[in-house]
Chain A
């Protein structure tokens, strides 16, 4: 049984149809001691069913520590959003820590569409300002599952 209602599945299919390039969700997980990893896998498994441009790449957090370090992931469940551009894998530098349920799921969907070539929600002025940043910036946005 799907976790997503049929009407919402159709809305998501329509939204994902905007995508022009493949998106990979790197799902960092571990088998033991991670309740929400199972929940997260269940949510993520729904997405490739709604778009052939979305793939889930599972990364074992315990067995592949170098992958976790590469993506700045120090806990699970975590998701890193990547995309393919001209055949090359690129990191969107968008991460999700914790299960993407509730409103976080909407944020994840937006991130997937953006990485997949969809329109930015930012204004041209905002994008120009951000493009001028010349030092590393790490932003953590705290949310709750409501």
Chain B
């Protein structure tokens, strides 16, 4: 997704190596995706719903 938009930066975070980050974002299961510190997406979703959830704060509405 980062590759498809110059606005997007994507971090793959190894949760066990960064317990402080995992705690901060209350990661209780993986994969868990956090977008702009606000939107949380649990687990894996199909592409369409995943993109819409990830972009819900940035849709310009």
Residues of A within 8 A of B (CB): 36, 72, 75, 92-100, 104, 107-108, 114-115, 120, 122-123, 125-127, 129-131, 133-145
Contacts and interface: CB of A to CB of B under 8 A. Distances in A.
Interface of B: 1-18, 21-22, 25, 27, 30-37, 47-48, 51-52, 54-55, 58, 60
With a 10 A CB-CB cut-off, give which of A92, A115, A142 has the most chain B CB atoms: A142
With a 10 A CB-CB cut-off, give which of A123, A135, A145 has the most chain B CB atoms: A135
Contacts of A96: 11-12, 14
A94 B3 contact: yes
B9 A138 contact: yes
Contact of A136 (B3, B4, B7, B32): B7
Given A93-B9, A100-B12, 20 more contacts: A95-B10, A95-B12, A97-B11, A97-B12, A97-B14, A98-B13, A107-B12, A115-B3, A120-B3, A129-B55, A134-B60, A136-B36, A139-B1, A139-B33, A140-B34, A140-B35, A142-B13, A142-B15, A143-B30, A145-B14
With a 10 A CB-CB cut-off, give which of B6, B11, B54 has the most chain A CB atoms: B11
A142 B35 contact: no
B9 A139 contact: yes
A140 B38 CA distance: 11
Contact of A140 (B6, B7, B11, B16): B11
